Structure 1
């Protein structure tokens, strides 16, 4: 992992490998199908609390996803368009999100890390402001998620 002034570090289960760093953004469960615009990287579900917010390049903190199995295809397109999250942290397994990330990684060599953390660690991460870094190495089940107080690392 690149050195950073960490204020917290968490073990995670790596579902896909990759390295990502960016601002951590917590959102309520979202269906990418109909709720996310893969062209702009914006949450478009009008009733969603994150309506109008961009998720492009962020470390997405989402307890779980919701909705259609077609969400995986929207996530793949967002990753291809570079309008998707740089990394994703969940605390509940979600096959639809995993399929989207895996397919994007295979088709576009994107290496978007997808990790699972405990509920307790997820809550701590959601209270963090600043940069989150994910280091999920290929072939290793354990990943590391770290936080920093400043984006200038």
Structure 2
């Protein structure tokens, strides 16, 4: 078990399977909110669905529409289970808030390097804690 300590952005506690992106994620034009799938053509996870997964990524890129696209995933039932990101920005923080899933950032270790796709992860947005169960 590995514990990462950081700052909670959105409260709540969930446990689920991690989906790790080593690249930033674009909201507008980078995801399909109807399916919860990354559609950015040159992205390492193009064609991969994040619905119901703990989405671990470096941060958001692109326009201010990022949060709107992730809010749509909540409304359509295709949102990730939680978000863990390395770099907090207004896009990623607002996106996590409107998606209403537990979110943690500013961790003491880089989650993109520590967590692997398929790991079982607990995200505790109340305490700013991410626990990796291998």
Task: Assess same fold via TM > 0.5.
Answer: yes
Tell which structure's C-alpha radius of gyration is larger.
1
In proportion to residue count, which structure has more helix?
1
Residue 108 of structure 1: aligned partner: none
Q: Cα gap change, 1:98/1:56 in structure 2, threshold over 3 Å: closer, same or farther?
A: same
- Give RMSD over aligned pairs: 1.7
C-alpha contact (below 8 Å) 2:19/2:116 kept by paired residues: no
C-alpha contact (below 8 Å) 1:89/1:117 kept by paired residues: no
Task: Give the unaligned 5+ runs of structure 1.
Answer: 1-6, 106-111
Name the SS of the counterpart of 1:49 in structure 2.
Answer: coil
Return the match for 1:115 from 104, 113, 120: 104
Task: Give the unaligned 5+ runs of structure 2.
Answer: none
Residue 134 of structure 1: aligned partner: 123
Per-residue deviation at 1:26?
1.0
Return the match for 1:67 from 62, 65, 83: 62
Residue 52 of structure 1: aligned partner: 47
Return the match for 1:9 from 3, 19, 30: 3
* Alignment: residue pair count: 133
- Deviating beyond 4 angstroms after TM superposition, the runs of 4 or more aligned structure 1 residues are none
Per-residue deviation at 1:33?
0.6
Inter-partner Cα distance in structure 2 for 1:16 and 1:47: 30
Counterparts in 2 of 1:82-121, with a 5 A limit? 82-105=77-100, 112-118=101-107, 120-121=109-110
